[in-house]
A and B are shown apart, each in its own frame.
Chain A
Amino acid sequence: MQPAVTLRVTRYRPEQESEPTLATYEVPYRKDWVVLDALNYIKDTLDGSLSFRWSCRMGVCGSCGMKVNGSPKLTCASFLSDSLPGPIRVEPLDYFPVVRDLVVDMSDFMRKLKKVKPWIIRHDERPLAEGEYLQTPDQLDAYKQFSMCINCMLCYSACPIYGLEPSFIGPAAIALAQRYNMDSRDEGAPERLEILSEHDGIWQCTFVGECTKVCPKHVDPAGAIQQYKLTGAIHWLKSLLLPRGAR
């Protein structure tokens, strides 16, 4: 078995350098270690100044997203054993400004997420006394896939359109809009459609499809966007052909 593995990690210390640099670390190889374990080993024993985000270590919190050997990954779910013999390249996510080392600024995503109103919208809230809004398993099934998103932003890092057109609202935000549109309890679809048919919405997407491939939760944001386009197009056609009342 391999005794050690080399990690090539992007460093960026804004108070010392104006461009990111590359640092090389040797870490012991363990079969059950993921890239995040290796980074933690570096921080604990080799260089305490290395900065990166993580929390749950189990693919739930969505904070450990980085590029591993060129593709966006959750580092807590990327085993060293999948990248042998190394070296393993670790970089911050693409297209987001780098704050330090492997930490990116995600305010842009947070702002966009809020914009699509990812919550249940009702015209009239039912009084509490009437109990919960019931849903059949099939109704749950209609949106469940999209609700699995953990906001890890890997899909943004995989999307060249977001890189070229930073105002694009992006894969996860649209998938989450769709998550609420498809929810039988929600009545906010027209509001969201208005936001998402704007210039920075669904029509920016040219269906590269990489967002779906990198998504660790199988959310299929590319699918969500294409389905949304279909809805948008049908809506537009209806508004063109039908009198107001019948839409």
Chain B
Amino acid sequence: MSAEAHYTPYHPRWYRRRVSVWWWLQNRAYAGFVLRELTSVFVAFFAGVTLWQLRTLAQGPDAYARFLACLGTPLFVALHAVAFLFVLFHSITWFNLAPKAVVVRLSGKRVPDWVVVGLNYAAWLVLSGAVALIVLRGR
């Protein structure tokens, strides 16, 4: 193509297909992607609940007891179960994608993808273990 070639953005004879609003149903990969994006809502939900918890904690034992009672209602248990599944999906898909973004080079060689993924899972396990330890010891 010569440098002078002229680009005609709206050439009358060229056919342009519109992207349908249902594009994400075209194949499984797209659907998986949209689902992964959706998980952010549930991550936000967990963050919101945690903030609420901190607030009631600061307000004193009565408020905190009411918060705990609220968490025990069937609606909240169901919500948490659903949110947990989505957050699990969120974590696993993102961990598996981590080596795409993080390229570690040790003495010139690229560290294999499974090591980067493995380190993410290891950190997850260690942190979850630490939290479990604190929570269970506090009982």
Contacts and interface: CB of A to CB of B under 8 A. Distances in A.
B89 interface: no
Interface of B: 1, 5, 7-8, 11, 13-17, 19, 23-24, 26-27, 29-30, 33, 37, 97, 100-103, 105, 108-110
B37 A206 contact: yes
Contact of B23 (A111, A163, A207, A226): A163
Nearest to A220: B100
B15 A14 contact: yes
A115 to B, nearest CB: 12
A71 B28 CA distance: 12
A223 interface: yes
A107 B100 contact: no
B33 A97 contact: no
A144 to B, nearest CB: 11
Contacts of B8: 107
A8 interface: no
19 contacts: A14-B13, A19-B15, A94-B17, A97-B11, A97-B16, A107-B7, A111-B7, A138-B109, A164-B19, A206-B37, A207-B33, A208-B33, A209-B100, A210-B30, A212-B100, A213-B29, A226-B97, A230-B101, A230-B102
Given A207-B97, A209-B97, A20 B108 contact: no
